[in-house]
Structure 1
């Protein structure tokens, strides 16, 4: 049953919106598909709210508050078709009116916390497909001073040479439930961003499904550009944006249940040309690039793994245990989908989630080297292409996954490389 416990507040929400708009009209507000909104505050809602929103629609609201202030958007109600990846019906929130970074995408009945723009403009866009619909959404926008938003808000644009960011209430109290924070760090084009977490305590979950910090390479929430997703009480040692982009997006999200201490993080800009060190990068005769096609010479190499689990952990972009669920041969390579049992090192690997099931797509560059068979469980280590797909080379470390391996893999998960 969709949103059964959400109907009770609807009358109160509509009454509040009506009260706000009575100076303009004595009637209940009518929500249309999109619009241009200006001023200190106001309401937006899906077309026909609180009735069922129409299918096959795309509605855009452009919000502008007075110059020098920022936009704060609070969802009062949301009920859209539920999907873990928000692929069908969803609401996108953007900084600015055109070509701004996406602050977040929302669907289902999860109500995010306050969303804050980095300037005086924000864009909200709702898209619905041809199928299941709900009662839509209603949100209130208001203007706030950029530096006087208080602990209830978080996020914004960070463009100074160094700085800090933290969860609401840090360090006095736990972060609140139902919060969404997005920090957009922008360095000059000739510099990179170094990111460190000093303290870190976010609700623990093996897959970071509930409360988490996600770091993205670039200026928008985009799973293909996700550098990492973190939770628990072990802070990522550092994230260094060396992917030729001068922007990072840090997203923090808490659900409506358990909370924790939170975190404080620091960033600083560094020149792109780094000083040389005595530690040289590991070289390999099997370079991994997007769109790599197998050659006869490459695939005639002797197929055998070398080294140990411990020895290959740090040199691999990702490490996971999983079940091969689909395989297809194309262009001399094997393309496989692996259902994840556990992931020990994620790197830039793109993870798909459907319900509680998480999976990743891998390409075995030489289709039979190493050999992956459908239905079997493996420990898989490999590199990641620019498209987020795992690349398995003839010398990648692959072995059958057994329960006795679990303890060693758990220990490696906390290893500092």
Structure 2
């Protein structure tokens, strides 16, 4: 994006900006670091655009359109330092002006689709580190009626007890290229959110790199809170949130598209602990002065028995490669790419193309120890959320091809 062709495109963009905004912009607009913008439409750009943006900067633009309307932001050009996780130079877009939900974070040269706020306010923030690379960004904002966004836009805040969400153009035709949609579902504090996809068809890729749906616990796009990332033509397994907020992100790149999807959600109460369990817990805490999980994790870590003796006692049995491990508190959340599954039970299996994966929770993060990139045979129980639950005494061992024959024989075993 640094050649003569790129500069020509920049000039055309600036001319178009000047023409669109009327006679007051007959000269090339000057973009400064941040600002307060109001009205039906306007442009924002990185400081000094189209020149190289300065290092070590933090610029904030607060956009307000007329009351009762929503803000639509379209990036016309973006060229920031590229990084898979956008850790260095990036643009963040938020609902509202303060403490708002982040709609997305962008870097590199990929232009997202139209971004839509859930109110008449939006905040855009650009941060650069000591090393810069690129000409920054330029974007146009405009006001739109919230109930007249039609097929062009998608996303928004969902607070009703149940509802649906779908890709633009569903079900008449394929979703468009270059779209970013974010749905933020918020339930009352004492409730959870149950999510089901009725139909699902998103461009297939083994790693869901191009078009995908990502679902997060909470109200932000945060890899540590990601429940799953999905593509292909198989609907993801039903999802239940851990808390009262859930975020659904849909992104399509600028190439192939597909039918899209429609999903439904509903609120449901948190399950209260049974009355019989309460006295036991109270007694345990009083006598040990430790939480049950802490006491459990202080026990000696060792598996007992054999593959055969543990097979029937386990809800699920699989062979797989550990692809992600995220410590949270004293436990470990891991994603396992499935090599083979021998006993599925109620385990939630996610499919992306031909690749299948499952989420497992290692209650005591060091016991048993799962290392990323290694292959294991994993046997365990399944929680209400469909996630595998690995206790210190669960049967885990390294997977070798010589185990295959025995596991195939156990698969046909009647328990």
Q: Give the TM-score band, short-chain normalised.
A: 0.7 to 0.9
> 294-303 or 255-264: which moved more?
294-303
> Do the aligned partners of residues 45 and 310 (structure 1) sit closer, same or farther apart at CA in structure 2, a change above 3 Å counting?
farther
Higher alpha-carbon Rg: 2
CA-CA distance at 1:190 after TM superposition: 3.2
Q: CA deviation at 1:232?
A: 1.3
Deviation per residue, 1:133-186 (Å, 9 max, x gap): 211111100000001012111111111222111001111111111110001112
Question: CA 1:386/1:190 → structure 2, altered by over 3 Å: closer, same or farther?
Answer: closer
Q: Secondary structure at the match of 1:411?
A: helix
| CA distance in structure 2 between the aligned counterparts of 1:85 and 1:335, rounded to whole angstroms | 20
Comparing 256-265 with 392-401, greater Cα deviation is found at 392-401
Worse overlay, 43-52 or 383-392: 383-392
Do the aligned residues in 2 keep the contact of 1:292 with 1:365 (CA within 8 Å)?
no
Moved more, 184-193 or 393-402: 393-402
TM-superposed deviation, 1:39: 0.4
Partners of 2:154 and 2:210 lie apart in 1 by 19
| Other-structure match for 1:77 | 77
Give the C-alpha shift of residue 20 in structure 1. Answer: 2.9
Choose 303-312 or 104-113, whichever is displaced more. Answer: 303-312
2:286 is matched with: 288
Q: Could you say which structure has the higher helix fraction?
A: 2
1:404 shift after superposition: 8.2
User: Conserved in 1, the CA contact under 8 Å of 2:206 and 2:354?
Assistant: no
Residues 376 and 399, structure 2, Cα contact 8 Å, conserved in 1: yes
Structure 1 stretches lacking a partner, 5+ long? 240-244
Question: By how many angstroms is 1:16 displaced?
Answer: 1.0
Following TM superposition, by how much is the alpha carbon of 1:269 offset from its aligned partner in structure 2, in angstroms? 2.0
Distance 2:408 2:176 in 1: 30
Partner SS state of residue 326, structure 2: strand
SS in 1 for 2:369: coil
- How big is the shift at 1:26? 2.7
Shift of 1:373: 8.1
Tell me how far 1:254 sits from its aligned partner.
1.0
Judged with a 3 Å threshold, the aligned counterparts in structure 2 of structure 1 residues 13 and 299 are, in CA distance, closer, same or farther, namely closer
Give the SS at the match of 2:24: coil
Q: Measured at CA, do residues 114 and 379 of structure 1 come closer, stay the same or move farther in structure 2, by a change above 3 Å?
A: farther
99-108 vs 254-263, which moves further: 254-263
TM-score normalised to the size of structure 2? 0.75
Measured in 1, the distance between the counterparts of 2:309 and 2:370 equals 22
Q: Is the 8 A contact 1:294 1:332 kept in 2?
A: no
Q: Is the 8 A contact 2:232 2:353 kept in 1?
A: no
Q: How many residues align?
A: 412
What SS does the corresponding residue of 1:380 show, helix, strand or coil?
strand
Shift of 1:325: 11
Q: Conserved in 1, the CA contact under 8 Å of 2:19 and 2:25?
A: no
The corresponding residue for 1:25 is 25
Q: Does structure 2 conserve the Cα–Cα contact (< 8 Å) formed by 1:294 and 1:365?
A: no
From the superposition, tell whether residues 295 and 114 of structure 1 become closer, same or farther in structure 2 (CA, over 3 Å).
closer
Single out whichever of 106-115 and 159-168 deviates more from structure 2: 159-168
| 3-state DSSP of counterpart to 2:380 | strand
Please state whether the residue corresponding to 1:195 is helix, strand or coil. strand
Q: Is 1-10 or 105-114 further displaced after alignment? A: 1-10
In the other structure, the counterpart of 1:411 is 409
| Matched-pair contact (CA < 8 Å) for 1:182–1:251 | yes
* Shift in CA distance, 274/213, structure 1 to aligned 2, threshold 3 Å: farther
C-alpha distance after superposition, 1:297-319 (max 9, x if no partner): 86896765579999999999999
C-alpha separation between the residues in 2 aligned to 1:83 and 1:337?
23
Rounded Cα–Cα distance in structure 2 between residues aligned with 1:2 and 1:12: 15
Mean CA deviation greater in 212-221 or 104-113: 212-221
Return closer, same or farther for 1:221/1:326 CA change in 2, 3 Å cut-off.
closer
Is the contact between residue 230 and residue 351 of structure 2 (CA under 8 Å) also seen in structure 1? no
Residue 376 and residue 80 in structure 1: after superposition, are their counterparts in 2 closer, same or farther (change >3 A)?
same
Q: TM-score, normalised by structure 1?
A: 0.74
